[in-house]
């Protein structure tokens, strides 16, 4: 690999820091190691750096690129739409088509509303929960990420304190803006039951990532999600799956299909737009009565804009073809098998957790973590060494050990990844 000191990425990053606060456009990207790389183009599962390096990408742009970059069918759909309109700020048949495709694909989804980002759509879901129930409180779980807004960016990745103490994640978050958010440890039904009892009649909704993708891809314990939905029903609270990551990823019908569960509301983003800024909330028709009767509102200049709708429509068409999820899931499983066997050949203790096309690596952990706190015992140092070695070997990964697999990850990608995995483990085992 070209020494980073002389790379265009370093030069561009230094220049960017003069004019772009942070030097990056999302705070999450500051964690990129060794530096935030600059890219010029992407094609299929490959990213091309500003230095002309071709990297096999398993970040998928933090999840959205489920059909890769530069997909001919997505390009054609968007090019055709460009000639028709960018946006109307008014109605078009495409809205109806995408809403129909979503409700057809996802079990229990009768109606949807459109938004632009996951963060916004989460806020819409919370507003719906409050407007429907007339209650103020929202329960979220430690380690879960629901966007960067003040009321949900609490106890995301705390380094201390109690697991049921709402902790702001950054400066500029005044306490009154998250004082209506209760935080609980995840995967513990008793904790939820106790909180719903203690705040009886006050909890509007419970929001959870169905698979804890943002903190080590922890899986829900058997019966846990069912228990959450049951407790919500018993206490009249709206159950919300934040499917911004799991939606159209764990299956075409997302976590609802994968786990066979139907929460009151689900929030979608990322994969739904195939790399374009598109998000949605969906659920039973009655969950949107409070919008229909004008009790509350949902708005946005760019909601249902033409280009993002066209991207979502094409993405859903591609994902709906037979065999797409089987192939992606198989690729994910093969990667995990290779990671496990190659690690054990090098005497490295490694666990992978997750489902299908999204999984995380945990070094030096003896049992799969059940929640955010348990992921903290894994070796962040080994994870980082591995990620750097993989970059050296031509594979681009997220800094937190999470892998995303997409529809364009083929046999050639698997070969390349497997070779890189083996050489990277040998490298870090020799330290």
Ligand X SMILES: Cc1ncc(COP(=O)(O)O)c(C=O)c1O
What are the residue numbers of the active site? 145, 242, 270
- Asked if 269 touches ligand X (CB under 6 A), the answer is yes
Q: Which of residues 371-400 bind ligand X (CB under 6 A)?
A: none
- Asked if 265 touches ligand X (CB under 6 A), the answer is no
Among residues 166 and 350, whose Cβ is nearest to ligand X? 166
* Burial environment of residue 92 by CB neighbours within 10 A (0 to 12, 13 to 18, 19 or more): middle
The pattern of x and - marking residues 106 through 135 that bind ligand X according to CB under 6 A reads -----------xxx--x-------------
The pattern of x and - marking residues 216 through 255 that bind ligand X according to CB under 6 A reads --------------------------x-xx----------
Among residues 51 and 253, whose Cβ is nearest to ligand X? 253
Taking Cα atoms as reference points, which of 74, 77, 78, 55 lies closest to residue 66? 74
Tokens of 138: 């929202």
- Asked if 307 touches ligand X (CB under 6 A), the answer is no
Q: Which of 57, 95, 142, 209 binds ligand X (CB under 6 A)?
A: 209
- Residue closest to ligand X, measured at CB: 118
Among residues 244 and 420, whose Cβ is nearest to ligand X? 244
Among residues 25 and 165, whose Cβ is nearest to ligand X? 25
Taking Cα atoms as reference points, which of 99, 103, 108 lies closest to residue 263? 108
| HEC secondary structure over 205-274 | EEEECCCEHHHCCECCCCCHHHHHHHHHHHHCCEEEEECCCCCCCCCCCHHHHHHCCCCCEEEECHHHHE
Q: Which of residues 133-152 bind ligand X (CB under 6 A)?
A: 145-147
- Asked if 214 touches ligand X (CB under 6 A), the answer is yes
Please enumerate in sequence order all residues whose Cβ is within 8 A of that of 20, keeping only pairs 6 or more positions apart, or say none.
none
* Burial environment of residue 174 by CB neighbours within 10 A (0 to 12, 13 to 18, 19 or more): exposed
CA–CA distances in Å: residue 322 to residues 9, 251, 253, 407: 40, 12, 14, 12
Among residues 188 and 209, whose Cβ is nearest to ligand X? 209
Size of the site for ligand X (CB under 6 A): 13
Chain contacts with ligand X (rule: CB under 6 A):
117-119, 122, 145-147, 209, 214, 242, 244-245, 269
């Amino acid at each position: 690999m070209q020494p980073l000191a002389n790379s265009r990425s370093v030069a561009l990053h230094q220049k960017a820091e003069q004019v772009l606060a942070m030097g990056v456009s999302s705070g999450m990207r500051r964690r990129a190691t060794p530096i935030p790389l600059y890219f010029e183009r992407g094609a299929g599962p490959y990213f091309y750096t500003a230095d002309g390096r071709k990297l096999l990408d398993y970040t998928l742009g933090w999840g959205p690129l489920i059909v890769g970059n530069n997909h001919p069918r997505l390009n054609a759909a968007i090019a055709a739409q460009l000639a028709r309109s960018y946006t109307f700020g008014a109605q078009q048949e495409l809205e109806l088509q995408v809403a129909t495709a979503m409700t057809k694909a996802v079990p229990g989804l009768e109606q949807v509303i459109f938004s632009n980002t996951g963060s916004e759509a989460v806020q819409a879901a919370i507003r719906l929960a409050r407007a429907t129930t007339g209650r103020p409180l929202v329960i979220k779980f430690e380690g879960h990420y629901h966007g960067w807004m003040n009321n949900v960016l609490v106890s995301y990745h705390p380094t201390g304190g109690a697991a049921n103490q709402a902790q702001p994640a950054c400066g500029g978050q005044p306490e009154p803006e998250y004082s209506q958010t209760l935080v609980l440890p995840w995967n513990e039904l008793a904790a939820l039951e106790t909180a719903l009892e203690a705040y009886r009649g006050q909890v509007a909704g419970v929001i959870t990532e169905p698979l804890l993708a943002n903190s080590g891809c922890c899986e829900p314990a058997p019966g846990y999600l069912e228990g959450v939905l049951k407790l919500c029903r018993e206490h009249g609270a709206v159950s919300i799956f934040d499917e911004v990551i799991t939606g159209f990823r764990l299956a075409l019908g997302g976590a609802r299909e994968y786990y066979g569960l139907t929460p009151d509301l689900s929030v979608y983003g990322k994969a739904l737009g195939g790399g374009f800024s598109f998000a949605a909330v969906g659920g039973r028709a009655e969950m949107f009565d409070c919008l229909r009767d004008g009790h509350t509102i949902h708005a946005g200049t760019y909601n249902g804009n033409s280009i993002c709708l066209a991207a979502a429509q094409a993405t859903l068409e591609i994902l709906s073809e037979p065999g797409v999820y089987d192939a992606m899931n198989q690729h994910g499983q093969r990667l995990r098998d290779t990671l496990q066997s190659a690690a054990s050949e090098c005497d490295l203790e490694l666990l992978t957790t997750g489902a299908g096309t999204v999984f995380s690596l945990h070094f030096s952990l003896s049992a799969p973590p059940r929640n955010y706190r348990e992921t903290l015992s894994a070796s962040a140092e080994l994870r980082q060494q591995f990620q750097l070695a993989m970059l050296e070997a031509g594979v681009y990964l997220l800094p937190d050990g999470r892998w995303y697999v997409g529809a364009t990850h083929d046999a050639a990608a698997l070969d390349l990844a497997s070779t890189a995995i083996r050489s990277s483990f040998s490298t870090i085992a020799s330290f």
